[in-house]
Amino acid sequence: MNLSANFKKYFANTSWLMAERVLRMAVALFVGVYVARYLGPIQFGQLSYAISFAGLFSALAMLGLDGIVIRELVKDESRRDELLGTAFWLKIGGAATTIFLLSLILLYTNGISEENIIILIIAAGFLFQSTNVIDFYFQSKVQSKFVVHAQVAQVILSSIAKIALVLLKAPLIWFAIFMLIDSAILGIFLVTAYTKRNKLSIYQWSFHRNTAKTLLKDSWPLMLSGLAISIYMKIDQVMIRNMLGPEAVGNYAAAVRLSEAWYFIPMVITSSIFPAIINAKKISETFYYNILQQLYSVMTLIAITIAIPTTFFADTIILLLFGEQYSEAGLILAIHIWTGIFVFLGVASGKWLIIENMQNIAFYRVLAGLLVNITLNLLLIPVYNIVGAAIATIGAQITAAYLFDIFNKKTKKTFYMKSRALLLHKAI
């Protein structure tokens, strides 16, 4: 297959993923706003806090296997059933262990309360996320349209159910229960896509102890970095809840939901072209790094294009979507949207670290961002309230996704590449 044919293949795959994520973003935005208006800042803050608290532990359940399994599938497709089966059971074990540990933590801190029950209900969805190993297979084959079909069906059903909950004036806990059901539905659709449309069987999957050891050996730094990412992406809402109360979380979460809605873009692009980047390295180092430079530059351009208009129209956007009860969220959105530049760069360079087998560096740079985030939150939230949390998030992202790389000789090259990207070098 020539380069032109390869490009068309990856472009088509990215188009499928992008279309699904745009649809998901549009529907989630509409339904999310509808739910937020119904719940109000206090209850929406309680739900957002529960999602954030459970999210702190999600990386433990996922075990950092995603990129590693895709990498191994690209290298040797004949090991498909062995890799998928082993990864599936590892994720089941990771999810069960995480839920158990989370239960103990909640029991010995605040005991049995509605808030803690909601957290555990949401966390139970980790078990069904083990089926996303099917997504790994389709990514390795650059056939994401099959996953897109499953996700679109899930989005439609999920949206209808949430609207029904609002119309029925359901209590808060039912929104958490449906999040669990939602995870199960997506799992069923993924299995259907794998077995029916691709003529494969999950019953052929097998668990191999040696393969498990190898995968975990490579993935544990990614799991730790994922844990650190989860913490510094969610710790702000947890700290706001404990320092300012649920209503402040509701306003902050409304802004962050709009800001983070765009984060699907780097994930879609990098996931789709990940196999292409791996193959480019086989061709030549020059070709490989030219592709990476273009990727960094395009990521930066897209993020800036989103951030500028959002900053100017933040108050209007919040007022139109959420209403006056979320009026404090406008300034937060105007500030928080700029984290996207470094999130986009961080996602792209994270794939580079996997290819170079430098997952341990990914952990250390994220850990640095986490420490900066917690420190800045402690200093700024008491003084500037939720505005301080937004500023702290920007500082953490700059540290983890950009500044850290200059202090390690193995990553200095990518620091200079990101610097050129920030100057929009080769972005067009």
68-94 pLDDT, tens digit each: 877 777 777 777 788 888 888 988 988
pLDDT at 425: 64
pLDDT at 142: 58
Judge whether residue 1 has pLDDT over 70.
no
- Which among 297, 305, 270, 354 has a CA at the least distance from the CA of 65? 354
pLDDT at 198: 64
pLDDT at 81: 80
% of the chain at pLDDT higher than 90: 26
pLDDT at 287: 85
Judge whether residue 428 has pLDDT over 60.
no
Average pLDDT over residues 155-166: 87
Residue 339 tokens read as 């984290």
Judge whether residue 282 has pLDDT over 90.
no
Phi and psi, residue 113, nearest 5°: -145, 165
The answer to whether residues 179 and 170 touch, using CB atoms and an 8 Å cutoff, is no
Q: What is the pLDDT of residues 99-127, one digit of tens each?
A: 998 888 888 776 677 888 898 999 998 88
Q: Which residues of 145-167 are buried (b: 16+ CB within 10 A; e: fewer)?
A: bbbbbbbbbbbeebbebbeebee
Write down the mean pLDDT value for the chain.
83
Average pLDDT over residues 180-205: 80
Judge whether residue 401 has pLDDT over 70.
yes
**Cα separation of 252 and 328, whole Å?**
8
The answer to whether residues 255 and 329 touch, using CB atoms and an 8 Å cutoff, is yes
pLDDT at 159: 85
Kindly state whether residue 428 falls inside one of the protein's structural domains. Answer: no
Q: Which domain holds residue 236?
A: 3-422
Kindly state whether residue 67 falls inside one of the protein's structural domains. Answer: yes
pLDDT at 417: 93
Residue 19 tokens read as 């279309």
pLDDT at 18: 62
Q: What is the pLDDT of residues 236-248, one digit of tens each?
A: 888 998 899 888 9
Kindly state whether residue 427 falls inside one of the protein's structural domains. Answer: no
Q: What is the pLDDT of residues 334-370, one digit of tens each?
A: 999 999 999 999 999 988 888 888 877 877 888 888 8
Q: What is the pLDDT of residues 294-329, one digit of tens each?
A: 899 999 999 999 999 999 999 999 999 898 899 889
Q: In this structure, how many other beta carbons lie within 10 angstroms of the beta carbon of residue 383?
A: 8
Q: Calculate helix-pair angle for 314-322, 329-336, nearest 10 degrees.
A: 130
Judge whether residue 424 has pLDDT over 60.
yes
% of the chain at pLDDT higher than 70: 90
Judge whether residue 196 has pLDDT over 80.
no
> Structural domain tally of the chain?
1
Q: Which region among 3-12, 50-59, 202-211 has the lowest average model confidence (pLDDT)? A: 3-12
pLDDT at 135: 75
pLDDT at 408: 85
pLDDT at 138: 73
Q: What is the pLDDT of residues 125-148, one digit of tens each?
A: 888 888 877 877 777 665 666 667
pTM of the model: 0.75
SS (H, E, C) the chain: CCHHHHHHHHHHHHHHHHHHHHHHHHHHHHHHHHHHHHHHHHHHHHHHHHHHHHHCCHHHHHCCCHHHHHHHHHHCHHHHHHHHHHHHHHHHHHHHHHHHHHHHHHHHHCCCCHHHHHHHHHHHHHHHHHHHHHHHHHHHCCCCHHHHHHHHHHHHHHHHHHHHHHHCCCCHHHHHHHHHHHHHHHHHHHHHHHHHHCCCCHHHCCCCHHHHHHHHHHHHHHHHHHHHHHHHHHHHHHHHHHHCCHHHHHHHHHHHHHHHHHHHHHHHHHHHHHHHHHHHHHHCHHHHHHHHHHHHHHHHHHHHHHHHHHHHCHHHHHHHHHCHHHCCHHHHHHHHCCHHHHHHHHHHHHHHHHHCCCHHHHHHHHHHHHHHHHHHHHHHHHHHCHHHHHHHHHHHHHHHHCHHHHHCCCCHHHHHHHHHHHCCCCCC
